[in-house]
Amino acid sequence: MRAMVLAAGRGERLRPLTETLPKPMIPVAGKPLISYTLTYLKNCGVDEVVVNLHHLGDAIRDYVGDGGQWGLRIFYSWERKLLGTGGGIQKAAPHLFGETFVVMNADILMELDLHDVLRFHRENHAAVTMVLRRDPEVERFGAIETDGYGLVRQVLGKLAVPSGPWNRLMFTGVHVLEPEVFSYMQNRQNAFSIIDVYLDMLRAGERIMGYETKGFWTDLGTRARYEDMQRMLDRRSISIDSLVRGCNPDVD
């Protein structure tokens, strides 16, 4: 199985940490954050990972190398200019095309059984499955709305559809994609968001599902959340082992 880790961002909200380190290299419990991302993916059966690079990308490449220390094959997609989530995935298409693949942000830690997400994705014949969660700040950041079957019906209020009694959830930064997503990127240039691609797919009648996770989730994109995570680890209120385990070994 293949995956992409989105690691090109500048991490501006984490300054001054990210003035000398790219965000995926910030230390968490004695290791760079990206180490846990790669361990998680390996534990979930991923074999090949493409990492997009821009800001201080050499530091990531020098640490990760060919991925051998995680038992992975690592490829890199360099971006001279930031391409956004959609543009980054499009540029990495040669490493991803041909089979179902996973995309995840490099700045998140979460308890998620990826095997269960993949099973949900396959059973629902989805073109895309977005991993979603409940959050009291959903109105501030924008909701992904799903019906009782998990079908995505509304995205950030941008679709011209009737309102419904739907679940209002937030995107976690983890998604499962089929290669057909690339056909909705062909006429796009410069930087663009994968969310814009998903909007076009929904307008075209493609099946996008929302998988709701109830496990622990955090992104380390701000100093406050980064420091909160460090305190939780120090107090042992959350364990790194639970965050990188990734999959129930008894689930196919």
* Residue 246, domain member (yes or no): no
Q: How far apart are CA 201 and CA 210, in angstroms?
A: 14
pLDDT at 252 exceeding the cut of 50: no
Mean pLDDT value across residues 217-222? 85
Q: How far apart are CA 57 and CA 213, in angstroms?
A: 31
pLDDT at 251 exceeding the cut of 80: no
b/e sequence 118-157, b meaning 16+ C-beta within 10 Å: bebbeebebbbbbbbbebeebeeeebbbbeeebbbbbbee
* Residue 153, domain member (yes or no): yes
With bands split at pLDDT 50, 70 and 90, how would you rate the model's confidence at 11? low
CB of 237 within 8 A of CB of 104? no
38: domain CATH number is 3.90.550.10
Containing domain of residue 163, as a range?
2-236
**Mean per-residue pLDDT over the chain, rounded:** 90
Q: Residue 37: phi, psi to the nearest 5?
A: -60, -45
* Residue 248, domain member (yes or no): no
* Residue 144, domain member (yes or no): yes
Cα–Cα separations (whole angstroms), residue 103 to 78, 194, 219, 238: 16, 11, 15, 24
Higher pLDDT, 239 or 167: 167
Q: How far apart are CA 187 and CA 155, in angstroms?
A: 22
pLDDT at 110 exceeding the cut of 70: yes
* Residue 250, domain member (yes or no): no
Mean pLDDT value across residues 168-196? 94
Q: Which two tokens stand for residue 108?
A: 């998140």
For a pLDDT cut of 90, what percent of the chain falls above it? 66
Q: How many domains does the chain have?
A: 1
C-alpha triplet 146, 147, 149: angle, nearest 5°: 110
- Beta strand 128-133 with 208-212: parallel, antiparallel or unpaired? parallel
Cα dihedral sign, 91-96-100-101:
negative
Mean pLDDT value across residues 174-180? 97
Cα dihedral sign, 157-162-167-173:
negative
* Residue 112, domain member (yes or no): yes
